[in-house]
Amino acid sequence: MSTLQNNTTKDKLLEAAVRVLNAQPRASLADIAEAAGVKRVTLHRVIGTREELLRDVALRALEQMDEACLNAVKGKRKAIEQLKAIVGALVPCADSCHFLWKNPDIWQEPEIAREIERHNTVLCELVDRAKQEGDILSLIPNSWIIASLDAVLYAAASTAKAGNIASNDASTLAVQTLFGGITKKVKGATLLGA
């Protein structure tokens, strides 16, 4: 099998794995192969073991998130605008994000741990810039901001995935919730439920 065919088969297997494992975290390799339309022996030949499959799916998810973020920040100078664009861009990556959120054990794999640490470092540097530019309160710890970002992304992606809201609307709501809050402000006062 040529490298191109092998990559196409691997992509198909990884896409099927995300879908199947998000729905059934304990799905067998045979279930994943069937969903991809290949034989189990093909999955083993192209990917290998279950651990290798999980690692490859996680790395692919992180690559997709990287690509979405890089495309989203193009042409945006201010850190706060970049952060908003990143939040909006990650909601459509719901399947990839869900796989990572639902499989925290994979984070212990050294290559995945390094990638997640790199992602967090880049986000913290962006948050620091937004603080320096005066757009984020400097007294809020970066760890809280990153945790809030993760929580809002999870809520938006989960709501969109469940079909309760369109992905574009979920992206907009995630940005609004994280950077503008959920309360209505009138003449400098915040009115709950207004």
Q: Which domains are delineated in the chain?
A: 1-48 (1.10.10.60), 58-180 (1.10.357.10)
Instruction: Give Cα 64 to chain centroid, integer Å.
Output: 8
Q: Could you tell me where the DSSP H helices lie in 74-133?
A: 79-90, 94-102, 110-132
Q: How confident is the model at residue 25 (pLDDT cuts 50, 70, 90)?
A: confident
pLDDT at 192 over 80: no
Beta strands 184-186 and 189-191, pairing class: antiparallel
Query: What's the rounded Cα separation, in Å, for the pair 155 and 134?
Result: 27
Q: What is the pLDDT of residue 194?
A: 45
Q: What is the pLDDT of residue 186?
A: 55
Tens-place pLDDT, residues 130-181: 999 999 999 999 999 999 998 898 888 888 878 888 878 998 999 999 998 8
Q: What is the pLDDT of residue 145?
A: 94
Q: How confident is the model at residue 193 (pLDDT cuts 50, 70, 90)?
A: very low
Name the residue type at position 82.
Answer: Q
Instruction: Give Cα 75 to chain centroid, integer Å.
Output: 22
Query: What's the rounded Cα separation, in Å, for the pair 129 and 7?
Result: 39
> Dihedral through CA 173, CA 70, CA 46, CA 157, nearest 10?
-10
Q: How confident is the model at residue 7 (pLDDT cuts 50, 70, 90)?
A: low
Tens-place pLDDT, residues 59-80: 988 998 899 999 999 999 999 9
Q: Say if CB 171 and CB 91 are below 8 A apart.
A: yes
Name the residue type at position 182.
Answer: I
CA angle, 141 then 146 then 152, to 5°: 125
Average pLDDT, the chain: 86
